[in-house]
Copies of this chain bind each other. A is one copy, B any other.
């Protein structure tokens, strides 16, 4: 089975034991080493070159066709391929039908190019294969995780040196931990908030031990609610479901015309629940970079209310957190140090490979609320990180982030953030300068939404009756939905689409849904010229649509604009 790693055409891979265990040993001979290094060269460069030359963003092939190739479900008994074949397959069968998220024309989602060195760092993590659930399978890497968490905690909270000296390597406290991603980070935060809100009292041992029904009885309440921005990530509803408070109790606070949580409404809703009685506001969640529109809630004002009311404040900074490294735009996040917990994603604007999230707590004892121990590992008082994480076994993502900090510096990261924000502003101007497009949500960070909406129709919309506005809007929704799909399927560029509330983004409009195109500008290789190309393509698609070259699928109520 060593042949599995060769590129030579050895006869038959038989799977005998001596061959099998060779796969687990470091090859000594230079020939085999050269082959393995050659494969890495293919992965690093040839894959990239191939994608650029042959694929664009994604091949124009239907999901049906791709699915039809992946229907064999019998696990092969004998080895079928060598590593060389597998890599050939990646070029021929996998990559062409994947999505080239690294393309600067891919500006639709929060996944983009990552620095080249990230592939090396991920390879190091795999080669060391440490498991940071416990010291006995990670040692230094557990210690390094605590250090890296402290560095980001300091970026967020900026406590003094004495605080960090006390906690950075304290085995009894925790400033935060890596998680699988933003969802698990949010879940960890709300898990802590729930357990703090419904802790032991009298003979009641706490919600973690006795469950929610007993907790409500002991605390004299009928339900718990979490107040979130209407623009919050869908994972928060999911967290409410998982944690047993019910996703219907994750309650949206309205946003204003610029997609910020309305602080007046928040205050009113908290008051309302107090008056209602037997309801506990378990937490408030502010968003730092809304997924759909990239806006940052007013952390200072929200924090003041939460402190006054004694409510746990979680900041979901999965997207916007790294803005703290921008010397120009960090002030947008003023007040984040008032949050009891902060979620961030490594695989978003820290430009780490999938998947990596982080959760931080202002109070280094917060994670005690969710601590677990076992006999064979994570014994009490040990440095075993697994005692205070949702996950058990985990890879050592700290090595990747620590190295990236060393290579890029916070200033390097800050420059990436600045580029995205400034490019988004330029793009907004470009959109506003073209007849066919309407800017729907202006960028605060590096995300904006717009739609195809010809000037004539914009003018009509400005004075139309509510009925006419809804009819025109339906038509525009159909156009934008169709053309976004057409552009995606053409495979040269990609913007995403989402749905916002008509009455919110265009105050004064009747209640309705508006389909918008969404650009996320995180790839440093994306330029204004590239964005102009994307708009040009949309203009061409619209022209085709008007001429009937693109079939109208839906239930349009008005003709072309």
Encoded as 1 (CB less than 8 Å from any B CB) or 0, chain A from 183 to 214 comes to 11001000100000000000001011111111
* 8 A–B pairs (Cβ distance < 8 Å), ordered by A: A36-B116, A40-B40, A86-B406, A86-B407, A109-B134, A184-B390, A238-B372, A241-B372
Query: Residues of B contacting A54 with CB < 8 Å?
Result: none
Query: Separation in Å of the A422 CB from the closest CB of chain B?
Result: 11
| Inter-chain contact A182/B5, CB cutoff 8 Å | no
Once the chains are docked, how many angstroms separate the CA of A383 from the CA of B153?
Answer: 37
Query: How many of chain A's residues have a CB under 8 angstroms from any CB in B?
Result: 183
Query: Residues of B contacting A119 with CB < 8 Å?
Result: 123, 126-127
| Inter-chain contact B394/A94, CB cutoff 8 Å | no
Q: Give the contacts of A284-313 with B (CB-CB under 8 A).
A: 291-292
| Inter-chain contact A518/B376, CB cutoff 8 Å | yes
Q: Give the contacts of A387-416 with B (CB-CB under 8 A).
A: 390-396, 399, 403, 405-412, 415-416
| Inter-chain contact A118/B109, CB cutoff 8 Å | no
Q: Give me 6 other A-B pairs in contact (C-beta within 8 A), A1-B412, A15-B412, A184-B390 excluded.
A: A75-B154, A75-B155, A95-B128, A122-B123, A184-B391, A353-B395
Once the chains are docked, how many angstroms separate the CA of A419 from the CA of B20?
Answer: 11
- Residue in B49, B392, B416 whose beta carbon sits within 8 Å of that of A183 in the complex: B392
| Inter-chain contact B242/A497, CB cutoff 8 Å | no
Known contacts A126-B123, A139-B58, A237-B372: does B403 contact A182 (CB below 8 Å)? no
Query: Residues of B contacting A27 with CB < 8 Å?
Result: 45, 116
Query: Residues of B contacting A244 with CB < 8 Å?
Result: 207, 211-212, 243-245
Q: Give the contacts of A15-74 with B (CB-CB under 8 A).
A: 15, 17, 20-21, 23-27, 33, 36-37, 39-41, 43-45, 47-49, 52, 58, 63, 66-68, 70-74
Once the chains are docked, how many angstroms separate the CA of A377 from the CA of B182?
Answer: 15
| Inter-chain contact A136/B109, CB cutoff 8 Å | yes
Query: Separation in Å of the A84 CB from the closest CB of chain B?
Result: 10
Please give me the 5 A-B residue pairs with the lowest Cβ-Cβ distance, nearest first: A244-B244, A211-B246, A354-B395, A376-B498, A97-B140
The answer to whether the Cβ of A124 comes within 8 Å of any Cβ in the partner chain is yes
| Inter-chain contact A99/B212, CB cutoff 8 Å | no
Encoded as 1 (CB less than 8 Å from any B CB) or 0, chain A from 202 to 232 comes to 0001011111111010000011100000000
- Residue in B135, B184, B353, B412 whose beta carbon sits within 8 Å of that of A129 in the complex: B353
